[in-house]
Structure 1
């Protein structure tokens, strides 16, 4: 999950830093995670701001929106909607606070910049820190970390289009379920929220399985094709000679 400083969150959401502070003071926006003196926001806060902005566009003022957080509207309050959004976004920033560990490469070098650009690492106190435990463990034991990092970057670049298509299918199907269960432009009832939250979790699990299974199949297909081409090349070049019997 991405993290933002106040200025970054303002830029991503289109909400001024001043208004973000005001939303926090009025209880509309959850408190950020504190790291020393720095306040860090995440995608959940961005989702909250988008919801607040949408309600403002529909004619609600700040006082009305505050009531949404505190009282029931059509059987559910705004916190229920944000609860569904939290299920879509995954773990909270607090649950993801532990970083995978440092990577012993120059954070300002090409590999370090690529890791940061793709959100796989961040610079903390001048050191490059991975944000994923498994990736950190693999890179820590890698005989050539730079080689592994280049492979990791290629994996991310190669997966972007497929993952984006999967995410689009996820949201499309989830929207259909929501409209069928709740209706268009309506807030869910408490019992609807429980069902929808379970659907979201199940869809996420199915999406993870689809990616894992399809990746395994595609990897095997490409490995077989590569091995076949390599073997054919040896035979055509005459580099292989059959062993003669004794």
Structure 2
């Protein structure tokens, strides 16, 4: 689950830092996690802010929203809420520490761009990849610079498309939950275990469905690309021989 400082949460949610503080003071927003004097928010707070925005946009007052949140807090114990939150956002991703990242220069411009995209991070001056398999691949490459550029091209070319995919997936998951519990139904404590398991399973199934479709499309496109590449080589050799 991502961590946000106040300014980062404001940017991600579209709610000003001033309003975030106001929501927190009124009890609309749950308190952040404290580490010394630093305050850290997470995806749960981001979801809360988006819910607040949506309800305000539909004409609800702050008092109504607070009453709704308070009833939710009274109706579900902390374990229920944390269990559903984990099902929604998935397990916390811990970067993989490997000696193999030593062949990548953390100051390289492409590496900095990958860090900005959340594919890697630095911890105490050490570069860590967010996905263990990325570390495995790059650890076996003597000079990974071409690989890093390819990763950036993939990221640049797919980020917006994958966000559209995510919207479609969330809509499908929401429809599945509504089909089970009914529209506008607020799950009761006895329903939370089933809802948590359903969300977790749906999330995993959606990931696998997308992976199968993507691998099938990639295989088809790669076969076509290699055919085109080979054809171009043969054609260029024929052209050279005719000169």
Shorter-chain TM-score bucket reads 0.7 to 0.9
Q: Is 1:100 paired with 2:96?
A: yes
Q: Specify the SS of the correspondent of 2:41.
A: strand
- What is residue 70 of structure 2 aligned with on the other side? 67
* Cα distance change of structure 1 residues 80 and 18 upon mapping to structure 2, 3 Å threshold: same
Q: Specify the SS of the correspondent of 1:58.
A: coil
CA deviation vs aligned residue, 1:30-53 (integer Å, no higher than 9, x gap): 54274x764433222211333355
Q: Is the 8 A contact 2:4 2:42 kept in 1?
A: yes
Distance of 1:129 and 1:115 partners within structure 2:
11
Q: Specify the SS of the correspondent of 2:151.
A: helix
Distance of 1:157 and 1:125 partners within structure 2:
27
Distance of 2:213 and 2:69 partners within structure 1:
45
Q: Specify the SS of the correspondent of 1:64.
A: helix
* Cα distance change of structure 1 residues 209 and 121 upon mapping to structure 2, 3 Å threshold: same
Cα deviation for residue 152 of structure 1 reads 1.4
- What is residue 215 of structure 2 aligned with on the other side? 216
Q: 1:84-95 to 2 correspondence within 5 Å?
A: 84-91=84-91, 95=92
* Cα distance change of structure 1 residues 181 and 79 upon mapping to structure 2, 3 Å threshold: farther
Gapped regions of structure 2 (runs ≥ 5): none
Distance of 2:157 and 2:206 partners within structure 1:
17
Distance of 1:231 and 1:19 partners within structure 2:
57
Distance of 2:43 and 2:144 partners within structure 1:
30
Q: Is 1:164 paired with 2:163?
A: yes
Q: Specify the SS of the correspondent of 2:198.
A: helix
Q: Specify the SS of the correspondent of 1:101.
A: coil
Q: RMSD of the TM alignment (CA)?
A: 3.7
Q: Could you tell me the TM-score, scaled by structure 1's length?
A: 0.72
Distance of 1:48 and 1:82 partners within structure 2:
14
Q: Is the 8 A contact 2:106 2:127 kept in 1?
A: yes
Cα deviation for residue 235 of structure 1 reads 4.0
Q: 1:15-26 to 2 correspondence within 5 Å?
A: 16=17, 19-20=20-21, 23=24
Q: Could you tell me the TM-score, scaled by structure 2's length?
A: 0.73
- What is residue 140 of structure 2 aligned with on the other side? 141
Distance of 1:11 and 1:131 partners within structure 2:
22
